[in-house]
Amino acid sequence: MLIKAKILISTVTFSRELIINKNTLASLLSCFIIATSVGLNAAQLKSLGSVLAPQNESTKARYSFRNPNQTLAFFGIQPGMKVAEGLPGGGWYSKILLSYLGEEGELVGVDYPLDIWQHFSFASEEYIEAKESWAKAWTNQAKGWGVESSAKISAYTFATLPEALNGQLDAVLLIRMLHNLARHEDKGRYLGDALATTFRVLKQDGIVGIVQHQAREDRSDGWADGNAGYLKKSVVIAAMEKAGFELVAQSDINTNEKDQAGEGDKVWRLPPSLRTSDDNIAATRAIGESHRMTLKFRKPQK
């Protein structure tokens, strides 16, 4: 496998700077090895590697924790697919996906439903008002990134995904965003409705890829309810199966055993946020980013 990976790497054109960047080469090598195991062909492998290599330095600095190469390969994301990305935010994954999916593909950004924001303490009236035009604003922002050979772009909320998309998507990526739906579930069934909508818009055999801050199973349910950013894997699996999905596979791609969060710990104490670590930044930097589950689900055929 290592010899094959080296041959594949040689087919990609690198700049001199990238050739001497060991972290970049290691990242691409992992991409080729894992992607080969899930059945991507040589052209698709080259595309994924060549998309990741030229990203800006702030994006590449997080590859060791977010592992976009292995993660997208594990979920089976391929050029030409029609993919929805939940809570795309500033576009860390979006920029990669727009380039990787290519002109034959489509990326659908999906934000939380508008009425969930009233439950966030930081959400001012101005913030919520801005969210009313989020879909148009995010679409324009994404088009302004200047991604060459970009996939088509559209955007909705989980509450406004149109019926025209029913059964149309190849995959939905829910990356580090389920905790906010879960923590407010009792105020509006946000998690249940979002998963039902996800089921609706996916094709038969369509994939849901989940990356989520993971709480240890022996932690209290009260703490691991999403308010601290963490959810238990068993809770996520149960919610997905209740929504009609089948668990296909799970991976330790995004695990970080240094993060042993418990009562009183919030995920935002860790990089890149470091919001609650004023007195202990050195220790939290040493932990790195959060411990995360990586789960692949399928919408079963009728």
* pLDDT, tens digit (0-9, with 9 covering 90-100), for 202-229: 999 999 999 999 999 999 999 999 999 9
pLDDT, averaged per 10 consecutive residues of the chain (302 residues), comes to 36 34 49 51 70 95 96 97 98 97 97 98 96 97 95 98 98 98 97 98 98 98 98 98 98 98 94 78 93 98 88
In terms of Cβ atoms closer than 10 Å to its own Cβ (0-12, 13-18, 19+), residue 1 is exposed
* pLDDT, tens digit (0-9, with 9 covering 90-100), for 87-129: 999 999 999 999 999 999 999 999 999 999 999 999 999 999 9
CB 98 within 8 A of CB 153: yes
pTM of the model: 0.86
Distance (Å, whole) CA 137 – CA 55 = 23
**How far from each other are the two terminal CA atoms of the chain, in whole angstroms?**
37
